[in-house]
Amino acid sequence: QSADERSVAIPRYVRVNTALWTTEQAIEYFGSLGFTLFTDPVSPSAQGKEFSKDIHVPNLLVFPSQTSFADDYAYQNGKLILQDKASCFPAVVLAPPASDDAAVIDATAAPGNKTSHLSAIMKNRGKIYAFERDRKRFTTLETMLAKAQCSNVHPVNTDFLLVDPYDEKYGAVTHILLDPSCSGSGIVNRLDHLVESDPKEADAINSDSRLSKLAAFQLKMIKHAMQFPKVKKIVYSTCSIHATENEHVVRDALASAEANENSFALAPRNEALPSWPRRGLSDEMASGEDASSVIRCSPGEDHTNGFFVSCFIRRAAQSESSS
């Protein structure tokens, strides 16, 4: 399958921004525009005005791939967010609480799709510190957060690696979302992605030396996240299909001193989107680690872009939650 063929196999996913209205209201709205709601998943290649509710991600609607939202009133007003299904998984797995004392970090936030998703899950309560290192992308993040009316987000234009985990400002942080720069090798449909760079050569994206550099950076980011004293859950995701950036980074993070000192382990499958069938590559994990704890999406085949999601939990938190 070519990248174009895989791209055609991806429907148009639209996340309802539940900070501004409900999915029932959005369904009514689309009904008034002449769309028909189907119980069965719509085909990406359907030509009519039809849609369905996604079966894995709450508040996600699925339309045929050719559906355009550029002129849509609700999209223009931040009530709908165009976001690939797989890229909705990290916030669903992190599942931060909707409480006034909740404190969450989105370590690599721009353009802000996942930040606004976290904000909606938290019902705009508590606090999300959204870090973004790049100045231009930070401006995009601010625009996106304003449009989606995320009032519980504090965006900060800084490098997450320079944020002191022991700063008392972050003393209450319990959940961290880590979706750092990656090769982007899983992306076959760039429509809803603001890519960081657009290397012309596929070889450049996938070269071993580039992947090793990215993996070293990704590992550093996870180890940094593990040092926040109260953090009990860290979700690490990429839009890469390479084990070097996925299972291998997870394996190395679990073997690190930071994971051992702070007692981090992988959350079991039943805490990480258990209904999603495609899981990690067991040959690429450390022996003794359960590859079904992590999530993979195969570009095109799963009606999504290629994606990877893992969830680290502090062991003490694990026994608390299971007791």
Going by the annotation, the residues of the binding site are: 132, 159, 179
Active-site pick, 88, 182, 239, 311:
239
62 beta partners? 13, 52
> What amino acid occupies position 240?
S
Residue, CB closest to ligand SAM: 108
d(CA 243, CA 211) in angstroms, rounded, equals: 10
108 lines the binding site for ligand SAM (CB under 6 A)? yes
Q: Least distance (Å) from ligand SAM to the CB of residue 84?
A: 10
Closest CA to 293 of 252, 231, 238, 251: 251
Residue given tokens 């979706």 in the structure block: 179
d(CA 203, CA 25) in angstroms, rounded, equals: 46
306 lines the binding site for ligand SAM (CB under 6 A)? no
Per this entry, what is the length of the chain? 323
Q: Least distance (Å) from ligand SAM to the CB of residue 61?
A: 18
Q: x/- site string to ligand SAM, residues 71 to 100, per CB under 6 A?
A: ----------------x-------------
110 lines the binding site for ligand SAM (CB under 6 A)? yes
CB 80 within 8 A of CB 16: yes
186 lines the binding site for ligand SAM (CB under 6 A)? no
Binder of ligand SAM out of 23, 77, 149, 181 (CB under 6 A): 181
The question of whether 182 is a catalytic residue gets the answer no
224 lines the binding site for ligand SAM (CB under 6 A)? no
Say how many residues touch ligand SAM, by CB under 6 A.
Answer: 20
d(CA 170, CA 174) in angstroms, rounded, equals: 9
d(CA 86, CA 84) in angstroms, rounded, equals: 6
Active site residues per annotation: 239
Question: Binding residues for ligand SAM, per CB under 6 A?
Answer: 87, 108-114, 131-134, 137, 159-161, 179-181, 196
